[in-house]
Amino acid sequence: MAKKDELTMQTIGSYAFLVGVLLALVVGFFGGFGIGQEVILLTLGVLGLIVGLVNITEKEIVPFLVATVAINVSLGSLSTVITNVLGIIPAFAGIAAGIVTALGYLMVFVSPAAAVVAVIAIWNMSKDQ
Protein backbone atom coordinates (compact mmCIF):
# COMPACT_ATOMS: atom_id res chain seq x y z
CA MET A 1 0.00 0.00 0.00
CA ALA A 2 2.96 2.34 0.52
CA LYS A 3 3.70 2.10 -3.18
CA LYS A 4 0.30 3.51 -4.05
CA ASP A 5 0.73 6.49 -1.68
CA GLU A 6 4.23 7.12 -3.02
CA LEU A 7 2.99 7.01 -6.60
CA THR A 8 0.19 9.43 -5.77
CA MET A 9 2.55 11.95 -4.17
CA GLN A 10 4.93 11.61 -7.13
CA THR A 11 2.04 12.20 -9.51
CA ILE A 12 0.93 15.29 -7.59
CA GLY A 13 4.48 16.62 -7.62
CA SER A 14 4.85 15.94 -11.34
CA TYR A 15 1.60 17.74 -12.13
CA ALA A 16 2.59 20.65 -9.88
CA PHE A 17 5.88 20.95 -11.76
CA LEU A 18 4.23 20.80 -15.16
CA VAL A 19 1.50 23.30 -14.21
CA GLY A 20 4.06 25.64 -12.64
CA VAL A 21 6.31 25.74 -15.70
CA LEU A 22 3.40 26.10 -18.12
CA LEU A 23 1.73 28.78 -16.01
CA ALA A 24 4.97 30.77 -15.75
CA LEU A 25 5.57 30.62 -19.50
CA VAL A 26 2.00 31.22 -20.68
CA VAL A 27 1.26 34.05 -18.26
CA GLY A 28 4.68 35.57 -18.90
CA PHE A 29 4.36 35.55 -22.67
CA PHE A 30 0.66 36.27 -23.05
CA GLY A 31 -0.25 38.28 -19.95
CA GLY A 32 -2.26 37.52 -16.88
CA PHE A 33 -5.63 37.09 -18.64
CA GLY A 34 -7.19 39.44 -16.10
CA ILE A 35 -5.72 37.59 -13.14
CA GLY A 36 -3.94 39.80 -10.64
CA GLN A 37 -0.18 39.49 -10.37
CA GLU A 38 -0.51 38.67 -6.66
CA VAL A 39 -2.59 35.60 -7.50
CA ILE A 40 -0.10 34.48 -10.14
CA LEU A 41 2.85 34.91 -7.78
CA LEU A 42 1.05 33.12 -4.94
CA THR A 43 0.05 30.25 -7.22
CA LEU A 44 3.59 29.85 -8.57
CA GLY A 45 5.00 30.01 -5.05
CA VAL A 46 2.61 27.35 -3.71
CA LEU A 47 3.28 25.09 -6.71
CA GLY A 48 7.02 25.52 -6.09
CA LEU A 49 6.57 24.54 -2.44
CA ILE A 50 4.63 21.44 -3.48
CA VAL A 51 7.36 20.45 -5.93
CA GLY A 52 10.04 20.93 -3.27
CA LEU A 53 8.12 18.92 -0.69
CA VAL A 54 6.99 15.93 -2.74
CA ASN A 55 9.10 15.65 -5.86
CA ILE A 56 12.69 15.66 -4.66
CA THR A 57 14.13 12.51 -3.13
CA GLU A 58 17.08 12.49 -0.76
CA LYS A 59 19.52 11.41 -3.47
CA GLU A 60 18.29 14.24 -5.73
CA ILE A 61 18.83 17.03 -3.18
CA VAL A 62 22.33 18.13 -4.24
CA PRO A 63 21.72 17.96 -8.01
CA PHE A 64 18.41 19.79 -7.56
CA LEU A 65 19.98 22.58 -5.49
CA VAL A 66 22.84 22.98 -7.97
CA ALA A 67 20.34 23.11 -10.83
CA THR A 68 18.14 25.68 -9.09
CA VAL A 69 21.09 27.94 -8.33
CA ALA A 70 22.25 27.61 -11.93
CA ILE A 71 18.81 28.30 -13.39
CA ASN A 72 18.19 31.32 -11.15
CA VAL A 73 21.56 32.86 -12.01
CA SER A 74 21.25 32.10 -15.71
CA LEU A 75 17.64 33.30 -15.97
CA GLY A 76 18.55 36.55 -14.26
CA SER A 77 21.48 37.08 -16.62
CA LEU A 78 19.47 36.03 -19.66
CA SER A 79 16.76 38.56 -18.72
CA THR A 80 19.38 41.30 -18.71
CA VAL A 81 20.74 40.22 -22.09
CA ILE A 82 17.29 40.02 -23.66
CA THR A 83 16.32 43.42 -22.27
CA ASN A 84 19.50 45.05 -23.55
CA VAL A 85 19.59 43.33 -26.94
CA LEU A 86 15.97 42.80 -28.00
CA GLY A 87 14.50 45.50 -25.81
CA ILE A 88 16.28 48.32 -27.63
CA ILE A 89 14.80 47.31 -30.99
CA PRO A 90 11.28 48.79 -31.10
CA ALA A 91 9.84 45.92 -33.14
CA PHE A 92 11.00 43.38 -30.54
CA ALA A 93 10.40 45.37 -27.35
CA GLY A 94 7.05 43.68 -26.64
CA ILE A 95 8.46 40.23 -27.28
CA ALA A 96 11.45 40.98 -25.06
CA ALA A 97 9.17 42.14 -22.25
CA GLY A 98 7.13 38.92 -22.49
CA ILE A 99 10.24 36.75 -22.42
CA VAL A 100 11.69 38.60 -19.43
CA THR A 101 8.37 38.33 -17.57
CA ALA A 102 8.19 34.59 -18.26
CA LEU A 103 11.76 34.11 -17.03
CA GLY A 104 10.94 36.05 -13.87
CA TYR A 105 7.90 33.87 -13.24
CA LEU A 106 10.04 30.76 -13.71
CA MET A 107 12.37 32.07 -11.00
CA VAL A 108 9.38 32.69 -8.73
CA PHE A 109 8.30 29.09 -9.27
CA VAL A 110 11.72 27.49 -8.77
CA SER A 111 12.89 29.50 -5.76
CA PRO A 112 10.38 28.19 -3.17
CA ALA A 113 11.16 24.62 -4.23
CA ALA A 114 14.87 25.33 -3.75
CA ALA A 115 14.25 26.88 -0.34
CA VAL A 116 12.26 23.85 0.85
CA VAL A 117 14.85 21.40 -0.45
CA ALA A 118 17.68 23.43 1.12
CA VAL A 119 15.94 23.33 4.51
CA ILE A 120 15.42 19.58 4.12
CA ALA A 121 19.14 19.19 3.29
CA ILE A 122 20.12 21.16 6.39
CA TRP A 123 17.70 19.15 8.48
CA ASN A 124 19.13 15.87 7.15
CA MET A 125 22.69 17.00 7.87
CA SER A 126 21.86 18.09 11.40
CA LYS A 127 20.08 14.89 12.38
CA ASP A 128 22.90 12.68 11.11
CA GLN A 129 25.32 14.07 13.66
3-state secondary structure the chain: CHHHHHHHHHHHHHHHHHHHHHHHHHHHHHCCCCCCHHHHHHHHHHHHHHHHHHCCCHHHHHHHHHHHHHHHHHHHHHHHHHHHHCCCCHHHHHHHHHHHHHHHHHHHHHHHHHHHHHHHHHHHHHHHC
Tens of pLDDT, residue by residue over 5-23, are 556 777 888 888 899 999 9
Give the model's pLDDT for residue 1. 41
Tens of pLDDT, residue by residue over 46-80, are 999 998 888 888 888 999 999 999 998 998 888 88
Total tally of structural domains belonging to the chain: 1
Up-side HSE of residue 125: CA atoms within 13 Å toward CB? 8
Give the model's pLDDT for residue 92. 79
Task: Provide the residue range defining the domain that includes 16.
Answer: 2-128
Give the model's pLDDT for residue 128. 60
Tens of pLDDT, residue by residue over 95-126, are 888 888 888 999 999 999 999 999 999 988 88
